[in-house]
């Protein structure tokens, strides 16, 4: 691994800047004074506060006197956070990961990063890969991470059309499954187009000159067995070629 990577991955102690949290109560009081009402504040005990709510690792502490407006606001923020977190984690991970196309190097770095932060290796790799393949300019606020993932891993035949398919998903309100179907259809059409073009190359197209076939036909009718065999072989080639053309359209 490079020095830059080991510098980023290294297990240096995290640093607190600006506020001394030795006195937890005093530190929390200062944070609450300067944090906006809609800010998620990290408490010294590891919990997080959002307004009057306390977010624990596995449960939400809801005040008894909470109103529906506050619950609605919290729900909206959590929903948006859930939809955004994959790209945020992906961009975060890519800051640590080496900028290389070598799968072995990136794989080792991804595993080291996941181990350091106690994360699932495959999930972190997924987030980082999609974020790396789709720059910010291509990401659409109204689409889910799963939509973006379908486009990020499109077949090579239609690479470069990412924005086209993301825009289509928005315009047609496509589900992830529907978007996947459109991508596959486009890729198959592209493959068929390539195959069709190849079929008409000189080295693929059989000899269909009518004069030659007619000459062999006349000789075969006259009892020439060699001419008959050549004619049948050429007709077989023409039939196979015609079937391939038919199947490609």
Q: Would residue 71 count as lying in a domain?
A: no
Two tokens, residue 95: 């800051």
What is Dmax (Cα atoms) for the chain? Answer: 111
Q: Is the pLDDT of residue 24 over 80?
A: no
* pLDDT, position 27: 45
23-50 average pLDDT score: 63
* pLDDT, position 203: 59
Spatial contact of 249 and 196, defined as CB atoms under 8 Å apart:
yes
Residue 190 and residue 219 in one domain:
no
Q: Would residue 182 count as lying in a domain?
A: yes
**What is the domain range of residue 243?**
210-247
pTM for this structure?
A: 0.58
pLDDT digits over 150-167, tens only?
999 988 888 889 999 999
Residue 191 and residue 224 in one domain:
no
Lowest mean pLDDT among 14-23, 77-86, 237-246: 14-23
Query: Considering Cα of 221, then 223, then 224, then 229, what sign does the dihedral take?
Result: positive
* pLDDT, position 77: 79
Residue 160 and residue 185 in one domain:
yes
pLDDT band at 81 (very low <50, low <70, confident <90, very high): confident
Residue 195 and residue 140 in one domain:
yes
**Separate counts of helices (H) and strands (E) for the chain:** 10, 4
Residue 146 and residue 194 in one domain:
yes
pLDDT band at 112 (very low <50, low <70, confident <90, very high): very high
Q: Would residue 29 count as lying in a domain?
A: no
pLDDT digits over 114-146, tens only?
999 898 888 899 999 999 999 999 999 899 999
Distant-in-sequence, close-in-space partners of 129: CB < 8 Å, separation ≥ 6: 90, 152
Helix (H) or strand (E) holding 21: none
Residue 184 and residue 232 in one domain:
no
pLDDT digits over 88-108, tens only?
899 999 998 988 878 888 889
Residue 193 and residue 148 in one domain:
yes
pLDDT band at 214 (very low <50, low <70, confident <90, very high): confident
Q: Would residue 227 count as lying in a domain?
A: yes
Q: Would residue 81 count as lying in a domain?
A: no
**How many domains is the chain built from?**
2
* pLDDT, position 30: 41
Give the burial class of 11: count Cβ atoms within 10 A of its Cβ; 0-12 exposed, 13-18 middle, 19 or more buried. exposed
* pLDDT, position 192: 57
Residue 190 and residue 229 in one domain:
no
For the stretch 149-173, what's the b/e string if a residue is b when 16 or more beta carbons lie within 10 angstroms of its beta carbon? bbbbebeeebeebbeebbebbeeee
Distant-in-sequence, close-in-space partners of 39: CB < 8 Å, separation ≥ 6: 50
Q: Is the pLDDT of residue 59 over 50?
A: yes
d(CA 16, CA 219): 96
Using alpha carbons, select from 197, 210, 196, 202 the residue that is nearest to residue 248: 196
Using alpha carbons, select from 7, 35, 8, 30 the residue that is nearest to residue 96: 8
């Amino acid at each position: 691994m490079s020095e830059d990577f080991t510098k980023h991955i290294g297990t240096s102690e995290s640093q607190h800047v600006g506020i001394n949290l030795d006195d937890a109560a005093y530190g929390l009081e200062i944070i609450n004074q300067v944090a906006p009402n809609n800010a998620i504040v990290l408490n010294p005990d590891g919990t997080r506060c959002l307004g009057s709510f306390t977010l624990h690792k596995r449960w939400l502490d809801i005040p008894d006197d909470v109103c529906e407006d506050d619950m609605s606001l919290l729900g909206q923020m959590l929903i948006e956070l859930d939809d955004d977190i994959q790209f945020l984690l992906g961009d975060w991970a890519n800051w640590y990961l080496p900028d290389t196309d070598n799968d072995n190097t990136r794989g080792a770095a991804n595993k080291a990063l996941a181990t350091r932060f106690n994360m699932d290796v495959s999930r972190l790799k997924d987030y980082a890969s999609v974020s790396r393949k789709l720059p910010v300019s291509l990401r659409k606020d109204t689409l889910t991470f799963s939509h973006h993932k379908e486009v990020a891993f499109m077949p090579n035949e239609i690479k470069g059309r990412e924005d086209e398919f993301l825009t289509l998903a928005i315009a047609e309100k496509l589900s992830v499954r529907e978007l996947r179907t459109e991508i596959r259809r486009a890729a198959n059409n592209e493959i068929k187009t390539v195959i069709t073009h190849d079929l008409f190359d000189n080295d693929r197209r059989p000899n269909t000159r009518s004069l030659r076939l007619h000459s062999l036909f006349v000789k075969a009718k006259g009892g020439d067995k060699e001419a008959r065999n050549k004619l049948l072989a050429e007709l077989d080639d023409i039939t196979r070629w015609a079937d391939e053309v038919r199947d490609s359209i």
